[in-house]
Copies of this chain bind each other. A is one copy, B any other.
Amino acid sequence: MGATIRDVARLAGVSRGTVSRVLNDQPRVDPQTRVRVLQAIADLDFSPSMLARGLSIGRTHSVGVVVPFITRPSIVERLRGIEGALSTTPYDLIVFNVETRQRRDNVLRDLTRGERVDGIILVGLSPDDAMAASADRPGLPTVLIDSHHPRFSRVITNDVEGGRQAARHLVELGHRRIAFLGDTPPMAFTYPASRLRYRGVRMALRSAGLDLPDRYTIMRDPGRTRARELTRELLVGPMPPTAIICASDLQAIGAREAARDLGIAVPEQLSIIGYDDLDIAGYLGLTTIRQPLFESGVSGARLLLGQLSTGNRQPVREVLGIELIARSTTGPPPA
């Protein structure tokens, strides 16, 4: 199987150094010998060992992407963006799925030491200060997607603004009893998007002179099924809201499911707004806040590639736009 550079050198009647030069397209090599070497390479079906090369030049040509809960469609979408941007480069994409703090710490430790990767992309994971410290000593180039830390380049959206837009949309439709269905961050160190969106909602309501009572504020476990249960409880209780803002499309789907269970018409009796604009939202006609998931992956990867090629590790903050997509789950409140 493995022909080495040494075999090539022998067959071509040159030294290993020369073969290496040919391999790396270096100018100072005689056209004649270059041909001979290339021929030998072809004959032996040789291809260089990435491992050895990496050890020698100190780079691995791979980037580590750390994501929490690869389950979630929004995460997958971002991953796709990263993969797309990386696929045209010589960099491999190594995926790490972390679902516990323990595992996160292990992964990050391994990654920031042992020269396993040339750079890191953290998705939805906010580095703590200990980890941030490793960015000081010129450690691994690292970029954040959908999470924050002043020391790192990052691509984010304005979640507060997203919450605000959702709330304003409902207020303009005439709603006055608006609930928020979010989730607690699954792990301490994950990005608290839900909470920020909540904050935006509350701000918008307040400036419209409306209140967001505790009873209308539900933040528990994420996921469709749980959202369905929670919404049901809310809707069968006293003074149900006329609209619900959800922190994700999945939760919005669960909420709608609950409405259906109870025979409550959407949007005639209840308006629902999601967040993300997943593919499925279009099919379901879900009103939602679109955030550029795929594109965030592309941008993040580009940021990292930039650091990798220029060595410039100045933190950049890239803010991607969001947009309200009004479909058919929102309308005026019942008279």
Knowing A2-B115, A70-B83, A103-B87 are in contact, say whether A110-B47 is a contact too (CB < 8 A): yes
Q: Is the CB of B95 within 8 A of A50?
A: no
**When chains A and B are docked, how far (Å) is the Cα of A94 from the Cα of B95?**
6
Chain A 79-119 interface mask (CB, 8 Å, partner B; 1/0)? 11001100100001111110000010000011001111000
Q: How many copies of the chain does the oligomer comprise?
A: 2
Interface residue? A236 (CB, 8 A): no
Interface residue? A52 (CB, 8 A): yes
The CB with the most chain B CB atoms within 10 A, among A76, A93, A94, is that of: A76
Interface residue? A1 (CB, 8 A): yes
Chain B residues whose CB sits within 8 angstroms of the CB of A52 once the complex forms: 55
Within 8 A of B (CB), among A215-241: 224
Q: Is the CB of B54 within 8 A of A51?
A: yes
The CB with the most chain B CB atoms within 10 A, among A46, A47, A62, is that of: A47
Interface residue? A257 (CB, 8 A): yes
Neighbour of A80 across the interface among B71, B83, B93, B94, CB < 8 A: B71
**When chains A and B are docked, how far (Å) is the Cα of A62 from the Cα of B110?**
14
Q: Is the CB of A80 within 8 A of B87?
A: no
**When chains A and B are docked, how far (Å) is the Cα of A222 from the Cα of B52?**
42
Residue of B with least CB distance to A140? B1
Interface residue? A321 (CB, 8 A): no
Q: Is the CB of A47 within 8 A of B80?
A: no
**When chains A and B are docked, how far (Å) is the Cα of A52 from the Cα of B95?**
21
Residue of B with least CB distance to A52? B55
**When chains A and B are docked, how far (Å) is the Cα of A79 from the Cα of B62?**
19
Q: Is the CB of A283 within 8 A of B94?
A: no
Interface residue? A172 (CB, 8 A): no
Q: How far is the CB of A285 from chain B (nearest CB, A)?
A: 10
Chain A 30-66 interface mask (CB, 8 Å, partner B; 1/0)? 0000000000000001111111101100001010000
Chain B residues whose CB sits within 8 angstroms of the CB of A131 once the complex forms: none
**When chains A and B are docked, how far (Å) is the Cα of A297 from the Cα of B83?**
20
A residues in contact (CB < 8 Å) with B: 1-2, 45-52, 54-55, 60, 62, 70-71, 73, 76, 79-80, 83-84, 87, 92-97, 103, 109-110, 113-116, 137-139, 224, 253, 257, 279-280, 283
Q: Which 9 A-B pairs have the closest CB atoms?
A: A47-B113, A47-B114, A51-B55, A50-B114, A51-B54, A83-B97, A50-B116, A92-B94, A76-B76
